[in-house]
Structure 1
Amino acid sequence: MIPIIIIIIIGYIWNIIGNNLNQKEITNIITWIGAPCLIFNTLIQLESSIILLQDMIISAILIIFTMFFLSYFILKIINFPVRTFINPMSFSNSGNLGMTIALFAYGSIGLELAVIVFMVTSMLHFTLGVSIWSGKWSFKFLAKTPVIYAVFIGLSVNFFNIELPRTITNTTSVLAGIAIPLLLFTMGISLNKITYKLDAKIIFLVIIRIFIAIIVAYSITSLLDMEGIAKNIILLQAVLPAPIFTYLFASQYDVQPGKVANYLMTSTLISLFTITIFLTLIL
């Protein structure tokens, strides 16, 4: 956890002292090169069984949809705007933090399973999530997302046992290496640019979300009889903060970005404690 925090802090301080990097360009490098290569490189050399990968996909889908369902009713009960908070409550930061923590905690097998969760999260966020932000259903954003094509090509290569030239696999392997450091670095930059105001109601909402997510994740992993690393990767999703993408989409579609930013920052700060406690218990 400490290396992750250090890289995020470096990005945060880098921006504070006036190094105004073109964050859009860095994000594009991650979106179009780093993340797709990381996912592709992971999928072409999957070591887990089909049954385990199937359980990872099913559990990730069930958690997100269950959280959507429960978050909707919670927000209605406490009279919070559903469109503003349902995405931050339902999706976790399975990319920046999820994959990184899995890699540091469990090595390549942990990263492999975390990539599967990130794949599911991305597909649902870029369809269901964006539809909620925009107010209309559309697959347009998903079709323009390179990660989806990396998933399709990677799984195809693996399924059909296609032998790729070493030049290609070596190149994608090197490019995949830029993804995680840049994800964490840009997360630090993004957090510095977000205006944050302490809000007791949002703190309460974040804490409630964590408790519910833990119960949901534990119930689903028990239902699917998951254990070991796979179970822990799924449980990890419950204590992760909201993804940076929620703030970016809220700003893009003008869905109370200030409130979403508050939720994002609050969940990120609280997650420093929840993730540390979680890792202490499972490792």
Structure 2
Amino acid sequence: MLVALANALTPILLIICLGFFLGKKTDYLDSPSLGALVSNLGLPALLLYSVLSMQMQVFSMLKIIAATVIVLAIVALASYAFLKILKLPTRFYLPPMVNPNTGNLGIPIAYALFGNEGMAIAVVISSVVQISHFTLGVGFMSGAYHPKQLLKNGPVIALLLGALLLSFKVSLPAPLMNTLNMLSHITLPIMLMLLGKSLSSLNIKESSKINRATALSLFRPAVGASSACLVVYFFPLSHLESSVLIVLNAMPVAVISYMLAIKFKGPVDEIALMILISLPTSLFTVGFLWWFYL
């Protein structure tokens, strides 16, 4: 089992390292259009193709969405209490604690561990977390929120379109499905390389922040995984759905939280350090869950 986990995670880590190297030594990944390409084209294509090709039932999709929302709510409450104990402001610290990196790390890990079926579940979960990024994340860090932002979110649109097609039992023509499949193949490698590139550009200046960032980094995967375990115990999910939900909620702090901190002038260095520390912590947590629980 340990060999299977290592075989699954090694390509992911190698591509992240490749992105880190390219970010340090080249300008191949510097274009902001790459991130937009994945967010607005690759990820929606992956989501729509995965949901339609697996013929996921609308009820199953709604169960996964509901379970994800409940997990995020539990994590938000627990993180809020933890931040109050540490006397830290919730405006900039709560969103990174609540929203895991289900996109450019969670989806590849779900695919590596659980195959295409697991990836289909993962992209649904990731879409819910994307909504949380653009509601909780933007709302808290900016101090304001505009619902129109969701209408511009590609994965959300793909999720709604997929649910609509499944509801009316509409199957897309084979050439169109093949096109979606080809587009989806660009998503995972670019996501992982962009994650590596983001890590290569993080800048930590004050060593005094390490202890606080470490505490938050250890808390994020632990509270995410434990909250998901609690929800799947009471929620009517299949074993595969439960496993993917737990793994994705054990993911580290999302890079988008770092980008939002830059945009809204938050504690950029600490959130950068949280990403760096929570990444190996999350991988260790996934390994532990895979070995003893899943």
TM-score (norm 1): 0.93
Equivalent pair of 1:23/1:186 in contact (CA under 8 Å): no
Comparing 178-187 and 208-217, the one that deviates more: 208-217
Give 1:56's aligned residue: 64
Superimposed CA distance per residue, residues 146-179 of structure 1 (whole angstroms, 9 cap, x where no aligned partner): 2222122222222212232322211111001111
Comparing 52-61 and 16-25, the one that deviates more: 16-25
Equivalent pair of 2:102/2:249 in contact (CA under 8 Å): no
Distance 1:48 1:32, change over 3 A: closer
Distance 1:193 1:224, change over 3 A: same
Q: CA deviation at 1:254?
A: 1.3
Equivalent pair of 1:126/1:141 in contact (CA under 8 Å): yes
Q: Distance in 1 between matches of 2:293 and 2:114?
A: 11
Read off the aligned partner of 1:126 and give its amino acid letter.
F
Give 1:151's aligned residue: 159
Q: Does 1:240 align with 2:248?
A: no
Give 2:6's aligned residue: none
Q: Does 1:88 align with 2:99?
A: no
Q: Distance in 2 between matches of 1:209 and 1:126?
A: 19
Q: Distance in 2 between matches of 1:240 and 1:206?
A: 11
Q: Distance in 1 between matches of 2:262 and 2:269?
A: 8
Q: CA deviation at 1:45?
A: 2.7
Superimposed CA distance per residue, residues 185-244 of structure 1 (whole angstroms, 9 cap, x where no aligned partner): 110001000113650121122223333333221111111143421111111133210111
Count of residues paired in the alignment: 283
Q: CA deviation at 1:49?
A: 4.1
SS where residue 169 of structure 2 aligns?
coil
- Any gaps of 5 or more consecutive residues in structure 2? 1-8
Read off the aligned partner of 2:71 and give its amino acid letter.
I
Choose which of 101, 106, 110 in structure 2 pairs with 1:98: 106
Equivalent pair of 2:220/2:250 in contact (CA under 8 Å): no
Q: CA deviation at 1:43?
A: 2.2
Q: Does 1:34 align with 2:42?
A: yes
Q: Does 1:221 align with 2:229?
A: no
Q: Distance in 1 between matches of 2:164 and 2:256?
A: 28
Q: Distance in 1 between matches of 2:218 and 2:285?
A: 10
Read off the aligned partner of 2:249 and give its amino acid letter.
A
Q: Distance in 2 between matches of 1:163 and 1:57?
A: 22
Q: Distance in 2 between matches of 1:147 and 1:49?
A: 18
Distance 1:238 1:152, change over 3 A: closer
RMSD: 1.8
Q: Distance in 2 between matches of 1:6 and 1:55?
A: 34
Equivalent pair of 2:122/2:244 in contact (CA under 8 Å): yes
TM-score (norm 2): 0.90
Q: 4+ residue stretches of structure 1 with deviation over 6 A? A: none
| 1:97-176 alignment, distance < 5 Å | 97-176=105-184
Equivalent pair of 2:95/2:136 in contact (CA under 8 Å): no
Q: CA deviation at 1:56?
A: 1.3
Q: Does 1:276 align with 2:284?
A: no
Read off the aligned partner of 1:219 and give its amino acid letter.
L
Q: Distance in 2 between matches of 1:212 and 1:72?
A: 12
Q: Distance in 1 between matches of 2:239 and 2:143?
A: 40
Superimposed CA distance per residue, residues 8-35 of structure 1 (whole angstroms, 9 cap, x where no aligned partner): 0001011222335333111011112111
Choose which of 183, 195, 220 in structure 2 pairs with 1:209: 220
Q: Distance in 1 between matches of 2:148 and 2:268?
A: 22
